[in-house]
Amino acid sequence: MAAEQMRVTKSADEMTKSTNRLRPLLRLWPWLWRYKRVLLGASVALLVAAAATLSLPVALRYLIDFGFSAGHSQHIDAAFLAMFAVAAVMATATALRYFMVTWIGERLIADLRAEVYRHVLTLSPVFFETTRTGEVLSRLSTDTTLIQTVIGSSVSIVLRNLLLFGGGLVMLMVTSPSLTLMILLMIPVVLVPILVYGRKVRRLSRASQDRVADTSSTAQEVLSSMTTVQAFHREPFETARYARAVEGAFGTAVQRIRSRAILTFLAILLMFGAIVLVLWLGAQAVVDGRMTPGELGQFLLYALFTGGALAALSESWGEIQRAAGATERLIELLDTPLALQVPARPVALVAPVKGEIRFEAVDFAYPSQPERKVLENFSLHVRPGETVALVGPSGAGKSTVFQLLLRFYDIQGGRILLDGQDIAACAPGAVRESLSIVPQEPVLFADTALENIRYGRLDATDAEVEHAAQHAAADAFIRAQPDGYACFLGERGVRLSGGQKQRIAIARALLKNAAVVLLDEATSALDAESEQAVQQALDELTRERTSLVIAHRLATVRSADRIVVMDQGQVVASGTHQELLAQGGLYARLAKLQFRDA
């Protein structure tokens, strides 16, 4: 608990640094301004409703001072008729305001969600190495929901009550300047504690949202790795971990609601205390004949409106501050830089891409470990149509070569050229379009086999998908599934075996039909028979395209045009299978181990 407290205090300190507490909300303005017509309509409705409300006390005074004296029954009729008319106007305007303001709230959130999501999807892997996906999800759902309630309701409550407060104050002035002066003197006494506490509520609100995000990211991570959790029998451990996160969130929430409760207490007590005092003075004025009973009635109603408006304002103030906190978290996400140096005016690759690849003295360290060079002075030239195999011990940097070609990271030294064009000068998307990868760990989506393969090329026909599956030796096992190609593969493809997942991934890459093929241990999980079947397809795939093939099983790369041996981020040898054997280096050693039995 002490640790939790510390964290809360820390983020509270960070908050105080921000110069303006509501500034984050201003960032929402451009989004709101897109719907200026609705905004205008809502404002008109708001004004009309407030004006109608403010005219009611006048009708009341009329009623008391003229209607109740004998012989003025027509005044009574007129007064009640007027009151009903006002009520009708008020009802209409309020309903319209509700509709329009809520509409804007929903619209804003829909836009904001889509925009934040779009932005997050463009972020480089660096972002996802440092941020937990659960955290992002929480911001997308919880924080946007909070903003939605505030824009959809609290803002209109605030505006309405600001109007009522202002209008009420003016009308109080009109009704009795001396009594109003009394009220004005008391306003600071009422407002100062409210503002002080409001500030506190906001700080705690941000902390509270952070804790909620903690709980959901904890859960998200565990739920997506259930079999590992259960295999190690870590359910009690994970349950306790989640419970701690939940308790942390609860603790922060309690602090928040305590401040809110105190805020409410202060607001109501101070406000009504002030009104009672003023009323007491008013009653004396009526007794002394300085005021008519109707005027006092009117004054009383306005005082109630004004006081009620102030109470509602203080109530919503906390909400709005919470929303400011949530907006801040969302905007933070939106402001996250790409981490990748993408030129403002990218150079286009000349179509069709031939697939010549050149690494020139590339130095690279992953951003999370900037001092540890994973590739050092790495040079490699792959001619169009050539098949080059990358072999070497685990951790040598083979997959990293693919990551860099895919332009997931910026390199620290050297150049990477595709068709003679520095890929750093191109749009990352354009570079990736010309590469087709079968990753070391195939990633499938919770969808059907058909759609999972079609992910390689979205406009492929069913027949093309099946054709690709046949070539990847995936057709037979897909057809053996209960619904064939329409079979649901489960989240991340959990319903398939490792080798089956690989073949789906290969089919996907085949379908993409890009100029360059990157195979990272594409057949490592296959049995000898399926591997042979797939290998034929891969040979066909790699024959007419530039291909980079990573494999531990040297048997699969013997047919490559050239084999490049990597160790500790550098090329240590290169040549054909026979040449490398003859050289007797690392490759010969690996080959001896692997082919000993054969």
Ligand X SMILES: Nc1ncnc2c1ncn2[C@@H]1O[C@H](COP(=O)(O)OP(=O)(O)OP(=O)(O)O)[C@@H](O)[C@H]1O
Q: Report the interface residues with Mg ion, using CB under 5 A.
A: 399, 440
Q: In whole angstroms, how close is the CB of 370 to ligand X at the nearest point?
A: 10
What gap in Å lies between CA 98 and CA 91, rounded to an integer? 11
Residue nearest to Mg ion (CB): 399
Residue at token pair 């080059």: 388
Query: Which of residues 305 and 364 has its CB atom nearest to ligand X in the complex?
Result: 364
Q: In whole angstroms, how close is the CB of 560 to ligand X at the nearest point?
A: 17
Query: Which of residues 299 and 359 has its CB atom nearest to ligand X in the complex?
Result: 359
What gap in Å lies between CA 50 and CA 52, rounded to an integer? 5
Instruction: Indicate which of Mg ion, ligand X, none lies near residue 395 (CB less than 5 to 8 Å, by partner kind).
Output: ligand X
Query: Which of residues 14 and 441 has its CB atom nearest to Mg ion in the complex?
Result: 441
Instruction: Indicate which of ligand X, Mg ion, none lies near residue 249 (CB less than 5 to 8 Å, by partner kind).
Output: none
Q: In whole angstroms, how close is the CB of 398 to Mg ion at the nearest point?
A: 5
Query: Which of residues 395 and 420 has its CB atom nearest to Mg ion in the complex?
Result: 395
Instruction: Indicate which of Mg ion, ligand X, none lies near residue 307 (CB less than 5 to 8 Å, by partner kind).
Output: none
Q: Cβ distance 509 to 456 under 8 Å?
A: yes
Instruction: Indicate which of ligand X, Mg ion, none lies near residue 396 (CB less than 5 to 8 Å, by partner kind).
Output: ligand X
What gap in Å lies between CA 523 and CA 503, rounded to an integer? 8
Instruction: Indicate which of ligand X, Mg ion, none lies near residue 20 (CB less than 5 to 8 Å, by partner kind).
Output: none
Q: In whole angstroms, how close is the CB of 254 to ligand X at the nearest point?
A: 39
Q: Please tell me what DSSP assigns to residue 448.
A: B
Query: Which of residues 208 and 399 has its CB atom nearest to ligand X in the complex?
Result: 399
Q: Cβ distance 342 to 428 under 8 Å?
A: yes
Q: Cβ distance 5 to 60 under 8 Å?
A: no
3-state secondary structure of 584: coil
Query: Which of residues 369 and 578 has its CB atom nearest to ligand X in the complex?
Result: 369
Query: Which of residues 410 and 464 has its CB atom nearest to ligand X in the complex?
Result: 410
Q: Cβ distance 303 to 123 under 8 Å?
A: no
What gap in Å lies between CA 493 and CA 474, rounded to an integer? 14
Instruction: Indicate which of Mg ion, ligand X, none lies near residue 293 (CB less than 5 to 8 Å, by partner kind).
Output: none
Query: Which of residues 180 and 399 has its CB atom nearest to Mg ion in the complex?
Result: 399
What gap in Å lies between CA 185 and CA 589, rounded to an integer? 92
- Write phi, then psi, for 450 (nearest 5 degrees): -55, -50
User: Which amino acid type is present at position 163?
Assistant: L
Q: In whole angstroms, how close is the CB of 154 to Mg ion at the nearest point?
A: 51
Instruction: Indicate which of Mg ion, ligand X, none lies near residue 524 (CB less than 5 to 8 Å, by partner kind).
Output: none
What are 540's two structure tokens? 């066909």
Pairing status of strand 562-567 against strand 570-575 = antiparallel
What are 96's two structure tokens? 């319209």
What gap in Å lies between CA 585 and CA 592, rounded to an integer? 11
Query: Which of residues 374 and 515 has its CB atom nearest to ligand X in the complex?
Result: 374
**DSSP character string of 322-363:** HHHHHHHHHHHHHH---SS---SSPBPPPSSP---EEEEEEE
What gap in Å lies between CA 384 and CA 380, rounded to an integer? 13
Query: Which of residues 316 and 399 has its CB atom nearest to Mg ion in the complex?
Result: 399
Query: Which of residues 212 and 365 has its CB atom nearest to ligand X in the complex?
Result: 365
Q: In whole angstroms, how close is the CB of 393 to Mg ion at the nearest point?
A: 11
Q: In whole angstroms, how close is the CB of 520 to Mg ion at the nearest point?
A: 6
Q: In whole angstroms, how close is the CB of 561 to ligand X at the nearest point?
A: 21
Q: In whole angstroms, how close is the CB of 367 to ligand X at the nearest point?
A: 8
Q: Cβ distance 496 to 333 under 8 Å?
A: no
Instruction: Indicate which of Mg ion, ligand X, none lies near residue 296 (CB less than 5 to 8 Å, by partner kind).
Output: none
Kindly list the residues in this chain that would bind ligand X in the complex (CB under 6 A): 129, 366, 368-369, 374, 394-400, 440
Instruction: Indicate which of ligand X, Mg ion, none lies near residue 332 (CB less than 5 to 8 Å, by partner kind).
Output: none
**DSSP alpha helix (H) spans, 123-176:** 125-130, 133-138, 144-149, 155-175
What gap in Å lies between CA 473 and CA 525, rounded to an integer? 13
Query: Which of residues 9 and 130 has its CB atom nearest to ligand X in the complex?
Result: 130
Q: In whole angstroms, how close is the CB of 398 to ligand X at the nearest point?
A: 3
What gap in Å lies between CA 598 and CA 594, rounded to an integer? 8
Residue at token pair 């006081």: 307
What gap in Å lies between CA 50 and CA 47, rounded to an integer? 5
Instruction: Indicate which of ligand X, Mg ion, none lies near residue 227 (CB less than 5 to 8 Å, by partner kind).
Output: none
Q: In whole angstroms, how close is the CB of 522 to Mg ion at the nearest point?
A: 12
Q: In whole angstroms, how close is the CB of 550 to ligand X at the nearest point?
A: 7
Q: In whole angstroms, how close is the CB of 412 to ligand X at the nearest point?
A: 14
Nearest to 343 by CA among 435, 421, 434, 437: 421
Q: In whole angstroms, how close is the CB of 541 to ligand X at the nearest point?
A: 21
Nearest to 511 by CA among 436, 440, 443: 436
What are 500's two structure tokens? 């089956």
Q: Cβ distance 453 to 502 under 8 Å?
A: no
The gap between the terminal CA atoms of the chain, to the nearest Å, is 62
Q: Edge to edge, what strands does the sheet with 357-364 contain?
A: 375-382, 357-364, 413-418, 421-422
Query: Which of residues 197 and 402 has its CB atom nearest to Mg ion in the complex?
Result: 402
b (16+ CB within 10 A) / e for 322-347: bbbbbbbbbbebbebeebbebeeebe
Query: Which of residues 285 and 406 has its CB atom nearest to ligand X in the complex?
Result: 406
What are 447's two structure tokens? 């969808």
